[in-house]
């Protein structure tokens, strides 16, 4: 198997990964970045982004990611396509296997593999991606001002998304499979008393319709019961709020994660419990999950990697 040694390895290519590459390149760390399964990350599945500073007229997600990529390459980042399929963080240099074919020995590693939104698995979710289907109310809610939307889910995240959207949309439906909300008591009370939110208990979304974008959702009430009924609900937007899965499985043997799989870092920093290994972006952020916060932690991770290497190399020199 082919081997290569690098000073700084960045795994992932969303805002966190590309920003880390920009800063690491400018610090002469000669970073190598592997883009992963989806070059550019989740934002490449978004149409317009209007809440990232520096784009006063908004920008397409694919364009913003291409801008960040080109900026990283301008400073010398070595950006490659490939997926981390195995890791050994037992001792330095740390090793990452790419595509089961190549082993990278890295003095520092920045993990920026992101988190994947959970979907219902409906074919229509892919069909209407970017045309009425979203997994981020904060990102896309602005486009549904004074429109009717639906939020799928019954936990705290779904309630938070519904309340946020209710401040923009004319009407918010919550589609909940169970006969109750799983959210905390205070969130349940807020939903119950919000004039713009209606909860549809014991409902399942089984499809979407519209041309070219979402115009409604196919619903089944009390699925599988004797009184099961089906009907269509006109909506303009369909928001998934049933959770995210952080892409941390490859590193879970070595790094501490929470119950969902988000990598735990030392509070206020991107440092993990392993010296020289950093986590940035959504893979370590169960709370905000925004492009701007991901980019910020990518910056922090690169700065921390630079400091770590400077200290490490100084100690090595002193031994000589």
Is 136 annotated in the active site? yes
| CA–CA distance, 50 with 246 (Å, rounded to integer) | 25
Q: Which of 124, 140, 282, 285 is catalytic?
A: 140
| CA–CA distance, 39 with 23 (Å, rounded to integer) | 19
| CA–CA distance, 190 with 158 (Å, rounded to integer) | 12
Percentages helix, strand, coil for the chain, rounded to the nearest 5?
A: 30, 30, 40
Beta strands in 26-114 (DSSP E): 32-34, 48-49, 59-60, 78-80, 84-88, 94-98, 102-111
Q: Which of 8, 124, 136, 236 is catalytic?
A: 136
For the chain, the distance separating the N- and C-terminal CA atoms, rounded to the nearest angstrom, is 32
Asked if residues 46 and 148 have their Cβ atoms less than 8 Å apart, the reply is: no
Residue 17, both tokens: 């990964």
User: 185-192 and 156-166 helices cross at what angle (nearest 10)?
Assistant: 30
Is 299 annotated in the active site? no
Beta strands in the chain (DSSP E): 2-11, 32-34, 48-49, 59-60, 78-80, 84-88, 94-98, 102-111, 115-117, 133-134, 148-152, 171-175, 197-200, 203-209, 216-221, 229-234, 237-240, 244-246, 277-279
All residues at 6 or more sequence positions from 192 whose CB lies less than 8 Å from its CB, including other chains: none
Asked if residues 309 and 107 have their Cβ atoms less than 8 Å apart, the reply is: yes
Q: Which of 139, 236, 282, 285 is catalytic?
A: 139
Is 48 annotated in the active site? no
All residues at 6 or more sequence positions from 145 whose CB lies less than 8 Å from its CB, including other chains: 168, 169
Asked if residues 270 and 278 have their Cβ atoms less than 8 Å apart, the reply is: yes
Q: If 0-12 CB within 10 Å is exposed, 13-18 middle and 19+ buried, where does residue 25 land?
A: buried
Q: Which positions are catalytic?
A: 136, 139-140
């Amino acid at each position: 198997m082919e081997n290569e040694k690098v000073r700084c390895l960045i795994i992932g290519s969303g805002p966190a990964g590309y920003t880390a590459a920009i800063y690491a390149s400018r610090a002469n760390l000669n970073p190598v970045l592997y883009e992963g399964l989806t070059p550019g990350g989740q934002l490449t599945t978004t149409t317009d982004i209007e809440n990232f500073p520096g784009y006063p007229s908004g920008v397409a997600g694919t364009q913003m990611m291409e801008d960040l990529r080109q900026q990283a390459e301008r400073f010398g980042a070595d950006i490659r396509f490939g997926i981390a399929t195995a890791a050994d963080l037992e001792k330095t240099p740390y090793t990452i296997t790419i595509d089961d074919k190549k082993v990278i020995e890295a003095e520092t590693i920045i993990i920026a593999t992101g988190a994947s939104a959970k979907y219902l698995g409906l074919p229509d979710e892919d069909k209407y991606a970017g045309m009425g289907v979203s997994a981020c109310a904060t990102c896309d809610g602005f486009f549904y001002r004074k429109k009717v939307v639906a939020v799928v889910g019954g936990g705290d995240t779904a309630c938070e998304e519904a309340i946020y959207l209710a401040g923009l949309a004319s009407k918010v439906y919550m589609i909940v499979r169970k006969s109750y909300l799983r959210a905390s008591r205070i969130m349940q009370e807020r939903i119950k008393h919000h004039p713009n939110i209606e909860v549809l208990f014991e409902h399942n979304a089984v499809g979407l319709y519209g041309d070219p974008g979402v115009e409604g959702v196919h619903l089944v009430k009390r699925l599988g019961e004797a009184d099961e009924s089906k009907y269509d609900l006109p909506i303009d937007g369909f928001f998934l709020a049933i959770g995210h899965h952080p892409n941390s499985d490859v590193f879970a043997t070595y790094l501490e994660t929470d119950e969902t799989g988000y990598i735990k870092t030392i509070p206020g920093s991107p440092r993990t419990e392993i010296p020289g290994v950093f986590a940035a972006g959504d893979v370590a952020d169960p709370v905000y999950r925004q492009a701007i916060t991901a980019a910020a932690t990518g910056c922090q991770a690169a700065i921390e990697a630079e400091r770590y290497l400077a200290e490490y190399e100084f100690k090595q020199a002193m031994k000589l």
